[in-house]
Structure 1
Amino acid sequence: MLPLKDTLKHQGMRSHLVEELRRKGIKDEKVLAAIGAVPRHLFLDSSFEYHAYQNKAFPIGEGQTISHPYTVAFQTELLQVQPQQKVLEIGTGSGYQSCVLLYLGARLYTIERQRKLFMQAKNLIPKLISWPPAHIFFGDGYKGLPKEAPFDRILVTAGAPYVPNDLLAQVAIGGRLVIPVGNNIQVMTLYERVSEREFHKTTHGNFQFVPMLQEKN
């Protein structure tokens, strides 16, 4: 494996990316600091290395992509992660979003359905951020992690055709679920759990994600 190099040039490109995201409306300075700290080029094929800090999605194999930096920042800002909160991420993918959440101090639990991506992320994430440790699972994101629930925050990083009841059930009272819902175009949707039976739902614009893999029976 190639060494994990993060040069001054990479850091400079990240600084430019952070300023671009700020101009696009990302206001949370902690989220911007995380984008500025996590070396996105290490999650991409080396042929994309010097394009890594453009606001673009890139393929990562298995029909999946690493999301636009703006999308990562937008979802993270909407999630409002606080240090030590228990966070469930559905769709580990490359592990980039995972590291952004870890940088913010989340106690992270993350699930990936593609075994190759799961193995790559399990190998890479601890090399970049070892504390707090990430709990990385191979499994069905539609089901969440009921044995680890409840979660203060749940983030879905793929386009879900509907909101899985299992995920809603695993949100702690006072917690948040951020999920892009729809087929070809998704609506970014926030569910805030206000009581055992009640959620407050708001929508936050249209996005385009790769589809969440079909639920396993």
Structure 2
Amino acid sequence: MRDSAKHQGLRNQLVEVLKQKGIVDSNVLDAIKRVPRHLFLDSSFEDFAYQDKAFPIGAGQTISHPYTVAFQSQLLQVKKEDKILEIGTGSGYQTAVLVAMGARVYSIERQNELYKKTSALLPRLGIRPKLMTFGDGYKGLPNYAPFDAIIVTAGAPFIPQALLGQIKIGGRLIIPIGDEVQIMTELIRINEKQFEKHEHGDFKFVPMLENKN
């Protein structure tokens, strides 16, 4: 579980790459600078951990490109103590970035293998989301709603209605919508029934799956 000066230097370089690609939120960039991405990857990928690439993490899942993590995090407009629901814990890297940004994170993972691995890893790294649970992201966490924001880290074929109902008025949902390629979609809750929609370009995610474990 080493985080060396070399790793820190590579993170600083990664932050410069992300700035060039249009990430401007200093809270996001500071979190990327602080979170040791190499510790969320298989050791065989350690030398490549700070390249802007996705890598396999088991169970047919991947850790997203740092740019994708930074882009979604920037769209969330996180303020300290914001209550955020994350759909798809995966490796825990996005979770760690949100915690480093000062958010209270509630995270759901539907792959049991990843859930067990990541729920053991995060405490060892001193990263403490408010809740990490195994379950179906399509249903959200109604018992803990409403949330200031919801982030979905897998490609969804449609917008789950259950998630829309769990956002505070003024809050937002960031979700990649589509099958082969997804459009990064931002929905801001205007009132009980209305949402304002913005689209932010094409991305590629693994599919969001219902709970089949």
State the TM-score, normalized to the length of structure 1: 0.95
The answer to whether residue 39 in structure 2 is matched with residue 42 in structure 1 is yes
Structure 2 counterpart of 1:180: 176
Partner of 2:73: 76
Q: Are the structure 2 counterparts of residues 130 and 39 from structure 1 closer, same or farther at C-alpha, using a change threshold of 3 Å?
A: closer
Cα drift, residue 129 of structure 1 = 3.4
Q: Deviations over 1:18-41 (max 9, x none)?
A: 000000110001100100100000
Q: How far is 1:130 from its partner?
A: 4.1
Deviation string 1:122-178 (CA, Å, 9 cap, x unpaired) is: 1111222345x4310000000000000000010000000000000001011110100
Question: Which residue type is aligned with residue 46 of structure 1?
Answer: S
State yes or no: 1:164 paired with 2:154.
no
Counterparts in 2 of 1:49-198, with a 5 A limit?
A: 49-130=46-127, 133-198=129-194
Where in structure 1 are there 5+ consecutive unaligned residues? none
Q: Structure 1 residues 203, 33: CA separation in 2 closer, same or farther (over 3 Å shift)?
A: same
CA contact (8 A) 1:66 1:93 kept: yes
Distance 2:42 2:103 in 1: 27
Q: Secondary structure at the match of 2:62?
A: strand
SS across alignment from 1:147: helix
RMSD: 1.0
Task: Judge conservation of contact 2:155–2:207 (CA < 8 Å) in 1.
Answer: yes
**Cα distance between partner residues in 1 of 2:125 and 2:189:** 32
What CA distance in whole angstroms lies between the structure 1 residues aligned with 2:50 and 2:164? 34
Partner SS state of residue 154, structure 1: strand
What secondary structure is seen at the aligned counterpart in 2 of 1:25? coil
Task: Tell me, in whole angstroms, the C-alpha distance in 2 between the residues paired with 1:134 and 1:112.
Answer: 14
Paired AA for residue 164 in structure 1: P
Letter of the 2:136 partner, please give it: D
The percent of aligned pairs where both chains have the same amino acid is: 61
Tell me the distance in 2 between the aligned counterparts of 1:171 and 1:194.
10
Q: Letter of the 2:14 partner, please give it.
A: L
Structure-2-length-normalised TM-score:
0.97
